Structure 1
């Protein structure tokens, strides 16, 4: 580590040699701490699945994993997939061709929703923001082709990407339809509908403001906004009972539904449905089709070559059985002992957060008491869940027509999942269920559940290891844990109470003070230059607030340990965020990701931390110096 560089660019000083030595693997969008753990995990998955194909004695008491191996055999039978080509999808495409009106769509809406067809109105079941004990029906935003609405404002960028998309789709369509005019019409219709969708779509910034995504509307009001579909009839069939109201994510849609969906736009929709039906199946057809269908996503991410057949087979199989496999992984490779070790760190940091809230000087007594109550009610989930959703037990691999066994099994599995999800309407929320597999390198806070979740896979170097010092572990997984706790009090989480209900538990003065501090955090990151563009401080504010709380709280916890070493804490925190991305992917993240670029997450948050200056002798004229008045202290 270059000592002089520490004062100029701490992230570079810690990670510079690593960044120079490591190249991004051809199948990855980037490379760094998260990716390295994930790659090692993929190797483990590969070894396990290939072993179980020949000898399943290790999992003979795990019926869901036995079925997973049956699916894996179908997925990796590339010879059969090549022989059958696009034949498995033709039945679904013919079914789409036979739709002649919006009435046909309406009559088949439940079937189409359960089986993953591209629909004009995308409904889903979600937790009620204001009553977290029940689940309600939601109406999603318009799905657009480009990653985010603002992409369309850059004419050169949007035209280039839409051209890649169009050429990809045309290549796939020509495998089925030999008529160029018909192919051109299908693609032009798809682009025309997308252009209409863009007008009403939310931007990434708008989507990042949780409270604005909750808009309960009487079902009759939705029905009055669209003449060609009976929303009452559709929703009743979807959930199996009468729906009185629902949550509309994007209220702009109310003014646009009749413009988007009317007798003149049916053909645009039908063409789009045909294309999206084909695209949704391509990963389950022959390998050449799979590779072609990945052209657009590779253009977005900068990946030059398609993922190998072997990697695709592993990744796809695990994605279908993500929770059953994750449960096995968590129990076998993390276990109860690992849970106990991490629980010790979690409870340390919750206690520190409590102490800080009790000593807080900018909150009034009433707000402070509510914040402490919320903290005391946070659910802590570590390693793996106590139960998973029941539909996985019904994932039984069946024999169909031979040529379509893979596609029909996968479609059936997803239909079982979607049916289960819709039937959760108005049912109580089970807070034991997770939204992430234990075999995923990630973590999250759910404001509507008021719980934090840490999948087993993240407990690896550099985040965590029994072989690392306590300071390194606190600089790694400790900062992540405290980050998730801090989300309970970020600009989004602060709008939810101890039960996960969206409720105002702030006094007017305290909320104004908090908003001023949040604005300071926005200013700290906004327009900061990176190698591919400027950071958006408003888009990333919630994650930046959580990062600041994470570093501060984890550092205080680290100081309680006998082997505390302040330098090791900061160094490992910077290691956690070491990352290099392909330029195309990095640019996309700037537009759509609520997290700041990795380098800023390390450097700016470390500048925010007072102990850093003394530990590394940072002086006022050093680039890593941030004036005390500009350091943002919220939690």
Structure 2
């Protein structure tokens, strides 16, 4: 019917070819379907049912027909009234490909590749010539050279962490293992099975709060609950490979990998669902140290706290109590073997990439087996990527100087102010919101801080990092540990000082934007403010169609179901009247219900709550 109604269906190309369903055919496809059914299947619009079958004798419901029609409209992409997105983007979608090493493509991802090349060139230019000792450029060059020194890393193998691996292996009691954990925190800045740090205080955004965390799942909750056997096997193989590289036999490595997997799966099952981590009412759980100690009754949390270097505090945040309780169940004599496996694996995941190439290759193999993506990189690419991640503050300055203009900064700031005024007008016109709540909402817009391009001042903590080149005795591993020590020193200094809300959550070379509920600010780094999302020389209309929709999107986060729970100062507070908030929740539910089940491609639907 569909084939005849549309005069034949086109073969899928580009994006539609990648997301096509049913092209492999179905084991229960009827013979009487003949050539017409074959053509429809070849168009990629028939996903079948959840059991992988076609069920040709089942009645076609109105909903089934609407779904098929929507897929045809998307495939054709010829009428804006049928499918606006597919029609206006048809040329790009049909000609698009996914670059090697990526799982997706689009304006953000294409621009990300461009920025990666821009940053890599900055790094290679700096590394190619001598630099004045002690300068940011000298540290960039020293770190780059240490990553490039593959021969030395191969010769060293796991020697830089061997003493810690041995200490984990020889820990005969839970107390001894906790001693090793404390040593790891003090000497390497690593927490492998539990620890304390600092994060934003949801109740008073001008201060930091101590946060407790225990080991968790490395993969998503959905992976442990719904992953295929092939995916689980790929993950187990990856864990075992890491452990084998650390010196264990293949049999012992797989046994440890299974212990890690089982513990992670148990914690994942007890954890919040993904959308719940955005709900401050669920994640803002304040404990005293004694409260947490009761959960971990077989160990001394005071000892672990002391190892963190933090000043004493009677307020400790636990974002996911269920996950904490599940992890706590392993901190006893019966769980010692599992904890040793978790600790050893965590070290390898944290710093294995700083050691020999085998750890990098294991990660590449896992990504290829799990996602089907070959992430193989040259040593130069790996070195540039590592420098970009570890010395981001230094590179941010260099990036801005080379690729951003004051004119662009001023233009985007002006656009943001225009959007804020539009938001105010629309809030004032709402017929379901009271004047009292409108005033609070407008106050939030009036106090919203705008961050465009780059920060007003640059971080200096990296100046304290002792980064040495191979000729000076430095290694990739030693440089990483030095950088982590400087970062930890900075963190500890922030515990009892007012939060600096001029700090940025993103680097200037990040191709993204964000709204921070705890600072009530929006950030647009320099890197996102270039073609195709923004062009300082383009018309205002073109830029509104590009960066404009992103600006509006980020402002909206101040009033989404999570941002709406924070006030103009960035504190978790209820600024709504009871009636208004009830109406707001109902509208959120309507949005979630509308998106729930909407197809993004044949056979793949949205979850409304996400």
- Shorter-chain TM band: 0.7 to 0.9
Q: Which residue matches 1:30?
A: 104
Structure 1 residues 122, 297: CA separation in 2 closer, same or farther (over 3 Å shift)?
A: farther
Structure 1 residues 125, 298: CA separation in 2 closer, same or farther (over 3 Å shift)?
A: farther
Displacement of 1:330 in angstroms is 2.1
Q: Which residue matches 1:65?
A: 137
SS at match of 1:410: helix
Superposition map of 1:434-453 within 5 A: 434-453=504-523
Aligned residues: 534
Q: Deviations over 1:50-98 (max 9, x none)?
A: 22222367xx699223201110111122333344444444344234334
Displacement of 1:5 in angstroms is 3.0
> Where do 5+ consecutive residues of structure 1 fail to align?
540-635
Q: Deviations over 1:464-514 (max 9, x none)?
A: 102322111011111111211111111111111111111100000100111
Q: Which residue matches 1:131?
A: 204
Q: Which residue matches 1:41?
A: 115
Q: Deviations over 1:302-340 (max 9, x none)?
A: 313423332222111110011221122124321322211
Question: TM-score under structure 1 normalisation?
Answer: 0.79
Q: Which residue matches 1:144?
A: 217
Q: Deviations over 1:373-416 (max 9, x none)?
A: 11111111100002233322122313689887111111221232
Question: TM-score under structure 2 normalisation?
Answer: 0.82
Q: Does 1:456 align with 2:526?
A: yes
Determine which of 362, 372, 391 is the counterpart of 2:432: 362
Displacement of 1:536 in angstroms is 0.8
Q: Deviations over 1:541-599 (max 9, x none)?
A: xxxxxxxxxxxxxxxxxxxxxxxxxxxxxxxxxxxxxxxxxxxxxxxxxxxxxxxxxxx
Q: Which residue matches 1:536?
A: 607
SS at match of 1:497: coil
SS at match of 2:333: coil
Q: Which residue matches 2:192?
A: 119
| Alpha carbons 2:450, 2:523 under 8 Å: kept | yes
Q: Deviations over 1:133-152 (max 9, x none)?
A: 11001124752132x21322
Q: Does 1:76 align with 2:148?
A: yes
| Alpha carbons 1:24, 1:30 under 8 Å: kept | yes
Rounded Cα–Cα distance in structure 2 between residues aligned with 1:8 and 1:66:
58
Superposition map of 1:289-368 within 5 A: 289-368=359-438
Rounded Cα–Cα distance in structure 2 between residues aligned with 1:405 and 1:503:
48
> Where do 5+ consecutive residues of structure 2 fail to align?
1-73
Superposition map of 1:158-177 within 5 A: 158-177=228-247
Q: Deviations over 1:326-363 (max 9, x none)?
A: 12212432132221111111111112212222333221
Q: Which residue matches 1:102?
A: 174
Rounded Cα–Cα distance in structure 1 between residues aligned with 2:192 and 2:561:
33
SS at match of 2:428: helix
Rounded Cα–Cα distance in structure 2 between residues aligned with 1:362 and 1:11:
31
Displacement of 1:517 in angstroms is 1.0
Q: Does 1:488 align with 2:561?
A: no
Structure 1 residues 64, 88: CA separation in 2 closer, same or farther (over 3 Å shift)?
A: same
Q: Which residue matches 2:78?
A: 4
Q: Which residue matches 1:577?
A: none
Structure 1 residues 160, 113: CA separation in 2 closer, same or farther (over 3 Å shift)?
A: farther
Displacement of 1:47 in angstroms is 2.0
Q: Deviations over 1:166-224 (max 9, x none)?
A: 22233343345363443233223222322332232222122232331101122211111
Displacement of 1:266 in angstroms is 1.3
Q: Deviations over 1:219-253 (max 9, x none)?
A: 21111111122223422442432221211101224
Displacement of 1:158 in angstroms is 4.6
Structure 1 residues 537, 65: CA separation in 2 closer, same or farther (over 3 Å shift)?
A: farther
Q: Does 1:182 align with 2:252?
A: yes
| Alpha carbons 1:71, 1:317 under 8 Å: kept | yes
Q: Does 1:202 align with 2:272?
A: yes
CA RMSD of aligned residues (A): 2.6
Q: Does 1:286 align with 2:356?
A: yes
Higher relative contact order (CA 8 A, sep 6+): 1
Larger radius of gyration: 2
Structure 1 residues 414, 299: CA separation in 2 closer, same or farther (over 3 Å shift)?
A: farther
Structure 1 residues 88, 315: CA separation in 2 closer, same or farther (over 3 Å shift)?
A: same
Rounded Cα–Cα distance in structure 2 between residues aligned with 1:494 and 1:252:
25
Superposition map of 1:15-26 within 5 A: 15-26=89-100
